[in-house]
Structure 1
Amino acid sequence: MNLFTRFLLLGLALASVSGAPAPPHDSAADDGAAVPDRCEGIEFDAATPDEKGSHFFFKGAYLWKGFRGPAQLSNESFKELDDVHHIGHVDAAFRMHNIKNPEDHDHIYFFLDDKVFSFYNHTLEEGYPKEIQEDFPGVPSHLDAAVECPTGECMADSVLFFKGHDVHVYDIDTKRVKTKSWSHLPVCTSALRWMEHYYCFNGHNFTRFDPVTGEVRGKYPKDARNYFMTCDNFGHGGDSKVPKCSEIKLDAITTDATGKKYLFAGPDYMRLDTRRDGLHGFPITRSWSQVTNGVDAVFSYTDKLYMIKDEEVYIYKAGAHYTLVEGYPKSLKEELGIEGRVDAAFLCPDDHKVYIIQGREMLDVDLTATPRVVTDRLPLPLSDLDAALCGPNGVDVFKGSQYYHYDSPMLLAMGRMAPVAEDITPEMMGCQK
């Protein structure tokens, strides 16, 4: 297994790959006071991302920023919490999702007893703290946890407030509350939405749940130290390492309609969000359960993801979660009018033509035609290509740890000589120089 595949298996632990490596455990404060060590298995009071996608985990007067690194005092990042309330802990926290109202969108809300604090850019908003009922009528005080739930994942833009086994679903637009009882879940002392999944933390464990039904799929609870932090002798800690860019070899790469980049290698994929939430790796079957043996090529078209393996095509509908279109997989011949093994595929923005690379030949397939057939075959100046990606600035074709840039697909096909190969960079893949 190459190092890039090992890197993908780091999964949730790799929210950030930049900066110096953190010590294996959280260090003590300079004044000698006891500092909580999350690697010992503590219970978080609250968890939330900020407007930039950085994740914060709270315990008492301390917080951790991200999935690695030592604890620090909460008032170093959110100064007014202590200035206003002499806070010793927070009960709950969440990042607001309300694109209809930019004045609230991406603000972080903290809850303590019967008060709520609103922060943006780590600064307390004017007029806060307020009574919880003033901002969130119908929501009880002394909460256990809270988490945002946008439309598409919930029925409407909502916030889930947890108190005991009761879940108070607050509709942001109507300001109405519906209360449910999810006794099958542990009492959530903190909750987190991350990459369209929802996590309830209790003790040092977590349980993933459906935000609408509360349903739990899979074997839970699981130890948070294997996923949400880097600790020696747990999951993604220990001997894991970020690969060098010179060691990377892709099977496929694509960008979806929302700007998320997906990179595939062996049985795993890595997702890179262009706006926030960092770099993350998972097994392919986590999102596309039917694709069990890796991929040869992947491309995005309209709201669907096309995944090619051997001579079959899987088409998935995009949304909160990818779902396989009924009747698939189908053969390459039936779906795209081609036969044989595919090396790479790419689709340019606002185009309806997919380019399929087989050996030293590039095939054009019009996706608006019925049935789909090859409309052109063009020779290529390169062979043994691994993956290709087309964006606003042109086409990048990948071969091992290097890539070749062309300003357009036609220049790729018409060029008699390949341009000078460029090395994959940390900015492109999150690898080390």
Structure 2
Amino acid sequence: MGVPAALCLAWALALGCAHPLAPPKAEAAAEGPPRGTEPPSNDNDTALAELCQDEGGFDAATLTENGTMVFFRGPEVWESAPGGGSLRSRPLAASWPELGGRVDAALRLRHQEQESLFLFQGEQVWAYAGGRLLPGFPRRIEEEFPGVPGGVDAAVECDPEECGGEMALFFKGDTVFAFDVGLRVTKPRAWPGPGPCGAALRWLGRFFCLRGPRFWRFRPPAGDLPPGYPRDLREFFIPCPGRWHGHGNASWGAAGERCSPEPFQALLSDDDGHIHAFRGNVSFRLDWRRDGLHAWPLAQAWPGLEGEVGAAFAWDGRSYLIQGSRVSAFLPGRGPRRVLGYPRPLRQELGVDSADAAFTCPGSAELFLIAGDRVRRVDLRESPRRAGEPLPLPHEGVDAAMCTREGVVLFRGPSYHQYPSVGQLLGARQPAPPRSIAADFFQCPQ
């Protein structure tokens, strides 16, 4: 399996940040286009302006199977548009003609490697996979989700690391029904949280309860609320002129365009398998493909950083970002936290003054620092650390590098070169064949 197949590409939201770039569309099925790919209506700008002016909310919200964020409202559905910075609307019946009316709740759910989209209406539920209605649907909700009542207000998926098991949470009034997908058992409990949810959304590892034009972030399954809420949907999820926090996307230029040929200055595969790409003043999260591919302002994704990241690597549960002659260390979590005492001089930390690229491989304490057409080894267990003698590379220059269980990847301009191991990289006399970063990592058309 090659690197593109091994890297399930995306990022983790720290709300208060700018709105992300929209995710790419999945490829169309052979039988026809998937649901949700119809073009926007001609009066989309007028409809969006009206949406920004009123105090109404959404009936349901979810992510589709391809990571597109969608909001249901009456006879219409709104979705994030390619290129970011806008929502587009279309008639609900154009994509889901079987429903014949407004949606009460929406739920994307994965079970046994199958991803399905469930749409709820009254006592019934419709299920779609690959954009197609599954056989046997619609069904009564209690048949598909035993113990869950009809007429639910909202629904959202919850992974084992968040809820202790593979769960779906259903909201109705002041009660939340936790449905265990594996055991097919439902446990109701009081929902203290922010009160009744008109819609619910799980996005990039965080949970949101939507009611009217406002939203609350909550921690499942109990519904604990972090400070700073409620917030206005029109400032974070709806691109309303003069209000939306994502209006700064245009200032990113080519750095924020996922299909841009602009080179990346650094890539990082951390100890948890999360993959980050750094370009200009933007950081991409590339391993959370289910929630789309997103770019974030560097200073908001990595608190305290200013300027560009020139190289990055991970070791012993920390991520290290090199900027010129200094290095910063971050601890993982829902939002990275800079380790006290950093940044430090690179010479003091690693025994070198600069690096064009850096990488460590999973389970190894050996760091490789690249400068020009040479690479040096550093044993991270040593104190003080020293860089070994320069070894030749089959490349004149490298912009970025990373190592996963699938091998070493070197990035240069719009292309990358893959090597099965460090040994094969160091023993190569010619560069490995170039492949497209945009096509393989961001699913851009060639």
1:388 maps to a residue whose letter is A
CA deviation after TM superposition for structure 1 residue 205, in Å: 2.6
| 1:54 alignment counterpart | 68
| 2:331 alignment counterpart | 316
Query: Taking CA–CA contacts closer than 8 Å with sequence separation of 6 or more, which of the two structures ends up with the larger relative contact order?
Result: 2
- Structure 2 distance, partners of 1:271, 1:118, is 30
| 1:71 alignment counterpart | 89
For residues 10 and 331 of structure 1, do their structure 2 counterparts lie closer, same or farther at Cα, with a shift above 3 Å needed? closer
CA deviation after TM superposition for structure 1 residue 204, in Å: 2.4
- Structure 1 distance, partners of 2:284, 2:73, is 30
For residues 378 and 156 of structure 1, do their structure 2 counterparts lie closer, same or farther at Cα, with a shift above 3 Å needed? same
| 2:206 alignment counterpart | 197
1:98 maps to a residue whose letter is H
Q: How does 1:118-197 map to 2 (within 5 A)?
A: 118-174=127-183, 175-183=185-193, 185-197=194-206
- Structure 2 distance, partners of 1:404, 1:50, is 30
1:180 maps to a residue whose letter is A
2:126 maps to a residue whose letter is F
For residues 396 and 44 of structure 1, do their structure 2 counterparts lie closer, same or farther at Cα, with a shift above 3 Å needed? same
1:280-325, CA deviations, whole angstroms, 9 ceiling, x for partnerless residues?
Answer: 122446555465776443224586544445544525346xx36669
1:306-353, CA deviations, whole angstroms, 9 ceiling, x for partnerless residues?
Answer: 4445544525346xx366698875967899653434442123567653
| 2:217 alignment counterpart | 208
CA deviation after TM superposition for structure 1 residue 232, in Å: 3.7
For residues 418 and 13 of structure 1, do their structure 2 counterparts lie closer, same or farther at Cα, with a shift above 3 Å needed? closer
For residues 114 and 303 of structure 1, do their structure 2 counterparts lie closer, same or farther at Cα, with a shift above 3 Å needed? farther
- Structure 2 distance, partners of 1:276, 1:181, is 27
Q: How does 1:252-401 map to 2 (within 5 A)?
A: 252-256=266-270, 261-265=275-279, 268-273=282-287, 275-284=289-298, 286=300, 288-289=302-303, 295-300=309-314, 305-308=319-322, 311-317=326-332, 321=334, 337-348=350-361, 353-358=366-371, 361-366=374-379, 369=381, 373-374=385-386, 376-378=388-390, 386-390=399-403, 392=406, 395-398=409-412
| 1:112 alignment counterpart | 121
CA deviation after TM superposition for structure 1 residue 17, in Å: 9.4
1:93-132, CA deviations, whole angstroms, 9 ceiling, x for partnerless residues?
Answer: 1111323xx4xx3111111122222221222222222222
For residues 217 and 288 of structure 1, do their structure 2 counterparts lie closer, same or farther at Cα, with a shift above 3 Å needed? farther
Is the contact between residue 26 and residue 38 of structure 1 (CA under 8 Å) also seen in structure 2? no
2:129 maps to a residue whose letter is Y
- Structure 1 distance, partners of 2:347, 2:221, is 38
Is the contact between residue 265 and residue 311 of structure 2 (CA under 8 Å) also seen in structure 1? yes
Question: Secondary structure at 1:128's aligned position in 2?
Answer: coil
1:240-259, CA deviations, whole angstroms, 9 ceiling, x for partnerless residues?
Answer: 27527778464421235776
- Structure 2 distance, partners of 1:284, 1:255, is 17
Identical positions, percent: 28
CA deviation after TM superposition for structure 1 residue 45, in Å: 0.7
Worse-matched range after superposition: 257-266 or 119-128: 257-266
CA deviation after TM superposition for structure 1 residue 133, in Å: 1.9
2:389 maps to a residue whose letter is R
- Structure 2 distance, partners of 1:94, 1:242, is 34
Gaps of 5+ in 2: 1-16, 27-39
